[in-house]
Amino acid sequence: MQSINVVNIDPNEALQTTDGSMTEARRQLEVCNACRYCESFCSVFPAVNRERTFSEATITQLANLCHNCRGCYYACQYTAPHEFGINIPKVLAEVRQNSWQDNAMPAFMAGAFHRSGAALAVAVVIGFALLLWLINQLPQSMNANLGEGFYSQLSHNAMIAIFIPAFLLPVLAIAISVRRYWRSVGGTQLQLSHIKAALASVAKMRNLAGGSGEGCNFEDEDRFSNARRWYHQATMIGFLLCFAATSAGTLMHYLFDMQAPYPLFSLPKMLGVSGGVLLSIGTLGLGVLKLQADRDLADRRVWGGEMGFIILLFLVSTSGLALYVLAASPWLPELLAFHLGSVLAFFVLMPFSKMVHGFYRLAALLREQQLQ
């Protein structure tokens, strides 16, 4: 009679190499597939139940489909101390993290910044110093080009010269990574219906709804709560509004020759201020919830990096709002340098931070639509 080796039931003994997590995820998913009690919580379990065996591509796709709502963990009769030691949120978080880091370009950067909040902080400090130096240096040489408002500190052209490459290159790196992911999970030609369904899922954060609409089991064990869902959407919508504000400003500048500073009742200001407020509230909420949540139901390696990323987004939004409120302050150069420096750090590190989760999740939701 063959005996069954039960792998990794000690939560402290992390088998977090790509192979180790993959093997452990496969073992656990086979238990799930024999149980099926969690079928209605989210998109992961119906996808599990379609399979008979679990390839690496399937497990990677399932891992990116998982939104870490944790409903399945608290509902599971096989969590430790049971010898089956099921912890799907944790093992899928590890596989997911490995897939982001393995597909990242260049990969070594991903290893550092995903894990370390300190590394993110250093990046912000460097961004701040760089911008402060530019603000102090450039006016002398480019005096003629200076404009009003913030442009009196740093010219529009200088900002564009820094931020266009600092935005486009990371976006390109993410595009390449997600394309690698898409190919590895067997993605095919997209149809409009797939895109519509996947975006609808994002808009409602359906996978954090817990199946019944009462949310996830995140900050207080098995209590269902929509707090994380709402804070996430505030963060996401706030971010998109800020992005729209910047885009609107750029269009107004180049197409209509309307230059900043803009009045409050203008598109960039309305989008930017409301986005900034939402982003600040959302990230603050997510940070607080993250402090309350059990760290053993996620990838422990990256807690610091994830928290650092939330704080970075919070600093970007609150410093942006502070600039609006304190535009006449004598500290304007420092404040502007801090804001632009943190925005710079955020952009440059997008491919190597929690920011990639949005792109991978969307890809996973699209793939799930194709597989359904």
Partner 1 sequence: MIQQAKTYDLVVIGGGNAALCAAITAAEHGSTVLILEGAPKPYRGGNSRHTRNFRCMHQEPLAVLTDRYTEEEYFEDLLKVTKGKTDEKLARVAIRGTEESYAWMEAHGVRFQPSLSGTLSLSRTNAFFMGGGKALVNAYYRTAFKLGVEVMYEAQVTHLERCGNRIEAVEFTHQERSHRLTPKAIIVASGGFQADLDWLASAWGPAAKNFLIRGTPYNKGAVLRDLLDQGAESVGDPTQCHAVAIDGRAPKFDGGIVTRLDCVPFSVVVNNAAQRFYDEGEDVWPKRYAIWGRLVAAQPEQVGYVIIDAKSLELFMPSVFPPIKADSIEELAEKLTLPPEALQNTIEEFNAACRPGQFHPTELDGLATDGISPAKTNWARPIDTPPYYGYSLRTGVTFTYLGLKVDETAQVQSAEGPIENLWAAGETMAGSILGQGYLAGFGMTIGTVFGRIAGKEAANYAKH
* Residues paired with 240 in a beta bridge: none
Contact residue for partner 1 among 40, 193, 247, 329 (CB under 8 A): 40
CA distance 22 to 13: 15
Q: Which stretch binds partner 1 (CB under 8 A): 35-43, 174-182, 332-340, 362-370?
A: 35-43
DSSP structure class, residue 260: S
Would you count residue 23 as binding partner 1 (CB under 8 A)? Answer: no
CA distance 252 to 218: 42
Would you count residue 222 as binding partner 1 (CB under 8 A)? Answer: yes
Contact residue for partner 1 among 145, 188, 212, 247 (CB under 8 A): 212
Give the torsion sign (CA, 340, 343, 345, 351): negative
Closer residue to partner 1 in complex, CB, 216/336: 216
Would you count residue 77 as binding partner 1 (CB under 8 A)? Answer: yes
Contact residue for partner 1 among 72, 110, 185, 316 (CB under 8 A): 72
Query: Is the omega angle on the peptide bond into residue 89 within 30 degrees of 0, that is, cis?
Result: no
Closer residue to partner 1 in complex, CB, 293/321: 293
CA distance 271 to 288: 26
Would you count residue 83 as binding partner 1 (CB under 8 A)? Answer: yes
Query: In the Cβ-directed half-sphere of 46, how many Cα atoms lie within 13 Å?
Result: 11
Q: Which stretch binds partner 1 (CB under 8 A): 68-76, 282-290, 315-323, 333-341?
A: 68-76
The CA R_g of the chain, rounded to the nearest whole Å, is 22
Q: Which stretch binds partner 1 (CB under 8 A): 179-187, 207-215, 331-339, 358-366?
A: 207-215
Closer residue to partner 1 in complex, CB, 31/130: 31
Closer residue to partner 1 in complex, CB, 196/223: 223
Would you count residue 167 as binding partner 1 (CB under 8 A)? Answer: no
**Minimum distance from CB of 3 to partner 1 (Å)?**
7
Would you count residue 218 as binding partner 1 (CB under 8 A)? Answer: no
CA distance 82 to 97: 26
**Minimum distance from CB of 82 to partner 1 (Å)?**
6
Total residues contacting partner 1 by CB under 8 A comes to: 36
**Minimum distance from CB of 284 to partner 1 (Å)?**
27
Q: Which stretch binds partner 1 (CB under 8 A): 70-78, 170-178, 239-247, 361-369?
A: 70-78
Helices (H), the chain: 18-35, 44-49, 56-65, 71-75, 88-103, 107-115, 117-141, 156-184, 192-204, 227-255, 267-292, 303-325, 332-349, 356-371
**Minimum distance from CB of 49 to partner 1 (Å)?**
5
* Residues paired with 216 in a beta bridge: 225
Give the torsion sign (CA, 152, 154, 158, 159): negative
Q: One-letter amino acid identity for 326?
A: L
**Minimum distance from CB of 227 to partner 1 (Å)?**
16
Would you count residue 75 as binding partner 1 (CB under 8 A)? Answer: yes
CA 92 from centre of chain: 16
Give the torsion sign (CA, 306, 311, 313, 314): positive
**61 neighbors 183 (Cβ within 8 angstroms):** no
Closer residue to partner 1 in complex, CB, 52/328: 52
CA angle, corner 26, sides to 25 and 30, nearest 5? 115
Would you count residue 183 as binding partner 1 (CB under 8 A)? Answer: no
Contact residue for partner 1 among 20, 46, 139, 261 (CB under 8 A): 46
Q: Counting Cβ atoms within 10 Å, is residue 214 exposed (0-12), middle (13-18) or buried (19+)?
A: middle
Contact residue for partner 1 among 31, 252, 267, 277 (CB under 8 A): 31
**Minimum distance from CB of 197 to partner 1 (Å)?**
19
**Minimum distance from CB of 86 to partner 1 (Å)?**
10
- Residues forming the site for partner 1 (CB under 8 A): 1-4, 30-31, 33-41, 46, 49, 52, 71-72, 74-84, 211-212, 214, 222-223
